[in-house]
Structure 1
Amino acid sequence: MPDRFNPQIPFSIELVLQDSKGDRIHATIGKYVLKFFRNKIHELRLYRMNYFVVRPNNLKLRTTTHKLKLTFTQKTFVEETNDPSFHMNIFNLRPFHQLTNEHDVDET
């Protein structure tokens, strides 16, 4: 997400993380800790991660249905790993009528 005062500088990096069960959670790497993780995390790779701040997911536009979200800190541990048994099911395809259910629409 770009900084609103200087779009050339990222304000944060927003992620969707998936565990071995296929559960997904939103995660944020904020402006002040970007330097620790910017070159360490890449799409479609497998990582072991620890030490997050866990908060309620109160975002208006949610990237996941999870009730919580993770925030990276300076102490967050990230290590790339390899596990051939980990399924990389990155898509959650649904019929159109499920995308427009009234209970999922926030019109505020």
Structure 2
Amino acid sequence: MSKLQVHNQIHYVIDVTLAKENWNIVVRVIRLWFVTDLAKSKIPFSMELILQDKEGVRIHGSIRRALIYKFQSQIYDGSVYFVQSFSVAANGGSYITTHHPYKINFQFGTKITSLPAQLVPESPPEYIPLSSIYAPGFDTDYLVDIIEVLTGVGIERELKKMDGRQN
């Protein structure tokens, strides 16, 4: 904890905006995944994170391809970190992972320090009932946690189309 005492202020995730550049946050990595580059299937396009502070507020974090090498061996799913010197951008795009209006982008100068796990309590997944997902008016702009749905049990078989009929 002494590493944190040298920093002026720890900010809550809910306060993160475009208004300033020097944010210091303490967060747990709730989810971590790599986005595949469609043109180069063996090389990740980015490393994506869902981060949560001790108040339970979540924000999306993104690490672009050029910086994955710097952070992938330092950041782990479920671990807690002090994160500073990152940029802030509007939370938009093809998929939106949190309801926070902003997301954070790791930069070359972003610093992360591993902290004791008890500083940010673990958070269970926020499962959404299927009835809500299929309901009219469900907001499909955001990713949600679901449990896989079993649609059937049987023997896998290959179907071939022959003379307009399936076998």
TM-score of the two chains, using structure 1 as the length reference: 0.86
1:102 aligns with 2:140: no
Report if the CA contact (8 A) 2:79-2:117 is conserved: no
SS of equivalent to 1:4 = coil
- Structure 1 residue 83: Cα displacement: 4.5
Specify the structure having the higher radius of gyration (Cα): 2
The 1-side partners of 2:40 and 2:54 are apart by: 37
Residue 28 of structure 1 corresponds to 62
4+ runs of 1 displaced by more than 2 Å?
Answer: 83-86, 93-101
Report if the CA contact (8 A) 2:54-2:119 is conserved: no
Range 76-85 or range 4-13, more displaced:
76-85
The 2-side partners of 1:37 and 1:104 are apart by: 33
User: CA 1:90/1:77 → structure 2, altered by over 3 Å: closer, same or farther?
Assistant: farther
Q: How many residues align?
A: 106
Stretches of structure 2 that go unaligned for 5 or more consecutive residues are 1-34, 142-167
The 1-side partners of 2:72 and 2:119 are apart by: 27
Residue 65 of structure 1 corresponds to 99
Give matches, 1:1-108, under 5 Å: 1-100=35-134, 102=137, 104-106=139-141
Stretches of structure 1 that go unaligned for 5 or more consecutive residues are none
SS of equivalent to 1:88 = coil
Query: How much is the aligned-residue C-alpha RMSD, in angstroms?
Result: 1.8
Report if the CA contact (8 A) 2:37-2:45 is conserved: yes
Deviations 1:10-63 (A, max 9, x none): 110011000110000111000111111010001011111111110001123211
- Structure 1 residue 3: Cα displacement: 1.6
The 2-side partners of 1:99 and 1:31 are apart by: 33
TM-score of the two chains, using structure 2 as the length reference: 0.58
